[in-house]
Amino acid sequence: MQAMYPEAEQIKKIVSQASKIVIVQADNPDADSLGSALALESILGEMGKQVHLYAGVDMPAYLRYMSGWDRIQNDLPKQFDAGIIVDASTMTLLEKLSQSGQQGWLAAKPVIVLDHHETVENVVPFADVIINDHTRASAGELIYLLAKQLKWPLPTEAQQAIMSSILGDTQGLSNSLASAETYRIMADLIEAGVSRPALEELRRQYGKMPPEIYKYKAELIKRTELAAGGRIAAVTIPQAEINEFSPLYNPGPLIQGDMLQTAGVQVAIVFKQYDDGKILGAIRSNPVAPVAARVAEHLGGGGHAFASGFKVTDGRSLADVKAAAMNKAAELLAKLEQETTDAAV
């Protein structure tokens, strides 16, 4: 069952020689990145390490069902011995670290990257060790296997966080990222005492919307565009709305689930438009259309087959970026449909 990573011994050496370790998430935290960070915090804490959790942005409200989210800080500590970047291996997603001037602090220490995204641009250049195992459903799954290989402790809190990470990236075990081994790991976690129903109830409770978010969601639904014969849904969010509503609920997760639940929709894209010209794209796709990573790659981003993202800062207009993303998605969906037809003949 367990993967054998040749990089494991180098990771073991870095961790054993460090007393204080920083766990770094990217600027777009999700259930996998937060779950992975909290799992490592528990594992390393059990090993006697001091652990500092970092993300350049505040944790979105919908993730706060995970116990320990409030320990995430927006600054690196003044002193630490090593860093571990989870669920990201690209500098594109670590912009806040660079803007704050703290990137040099991290680069000056031994750095480990633990990721699982198939398509990655602008790889972290100062990392000493990178494991990017895109056969894994989530970074949390990778961490579980690595911990097993290195015989690291796996406290209940760590295993609970790992389950949250797996459920997050597999859309509740509904997409093809979940392999047979993923299900075996889930069974191991349940046997160890992790309750999936309890996690689901927590997630539902923290996922409840304030009234103003409920009304805002209705506005996003009205603004949603359908393209490619209804197979692509897209919506644009300007910076004013990002500033107003993100502290309450991340607009992307707020709307994308409903977009993908619309009959016929296979790909959902949320475009975020910033006043400085930057455009971010969050792409999610249904299990029948594993094209998200390739759409993001077309715009210089990356991710995995069902969840990916990109950032455009070269001055292109929103209209050009939208056209590029939606045309590429339509092209990939048409190719996928043709392949399916050919296979049936």
Q: What is 168-195 written as a DSSP string? A: HHTTTTTSTT--HHHHHHHHHHHHTT--
According to the model, what pLDDT value does residue 345 have?
61
Is 1 part of any domain? Answer: no
Residue 1: pLDDT band (50, 70, 90) is low
Higher pLDDT, 91 or 12: 12
Task: Give residue for tokens 């991710």.
Answer: 303
Is residue 164 domain-shared with residue 98, that is, in the same domain?
Answer: yes
Sheet holding 279-285, edge to edge: 225-227, 232-238, 267-273, 279-285, 307-312, 302-304
Is residue 195 domain-shared with residue 227, that is, in the same domain?
Answer: no
Is residue 191 domain-shared with residue 73, that is, in the same domain?
Answer: yes
Interval 132-140 mean pLDDT: 94
Residue 2: pLDDT band (50, 70, 90) is low
* Helix then strand then coil, % of the chain, to nearest 5: 45, 20, 35
Kindly report the CATH number assigned to the domain that includes residue 147.
3.90.1640.10
According to the model, what pLDDT value does residue 207 have?
75
Structure tokens at 273: 């438009």
Which range is least confidently modeled, 42-51, 130-139, 245-254? 245-254
Domain end point (choices 204, 228, 256): 204
CB 43 within 8 Å of CB 153: yes
Is 336 part of any domain? Answer: yes
Is residue 220 domain-shared with residue 272, that is, in the same domain?
Answer: yes
CB 330 within 8 Å of CB 286: no
Is residue 155 domain-shared with residue 218, that is, in the same domain?
Answer: no
Q: What percent of the chain has pLDDT over 70?
A: 98
Structure tokens at 140: 């949390």
**CA-based nearest residue to 226, from 277, 171, 269, 276:** 269
According to the model, what pLDDT value does residue 234 have?
98
Kindly report the CATH number assigned to the domain that includes residue 274.
3.10.310.30
Print the domain residue range for 327.
Answer: 211-344
Is 12 part of any domain? Answer: yes
Alpha helices in the chain (DSSP H): 8-16, 31-46, 95-99, 103-107, 139-150, 156-169, 180-191, 196-206, 211-223, 239-245, 251-260, 292-298, 318-344
Structure tokens at 310: 């990109």
* Predicted confidence (pLDDT) at residue 340 exceeds the cutoff of 90: no
Residue 52: pLDDT band (50, 70, 90) is very high
Is residue 147 domain-shared with residue 224, that is, in the same domain?
Answer: no
Is 2 part of any domain? Answer: no
Domain end point (choices 165, 186, 204): 204
Is 262 part of any domain? Answer: yes
Which range is least confidently modeled, 78-82, 249-253, 320-324? 249-253
| Spatial separation of the C-alpha atoms in residues 130 and 22, rounded to whole Å | 16
pLDDT in tens, 153-172: 999 999 999 999 999 888 88
Domain count, the chain: 2
pTM attached to this predicted model: 0.81
Is residue 224 domain-shared with residue 189, that is, in the same domain?
Answer: no
Average pLDDT, the chain: 93
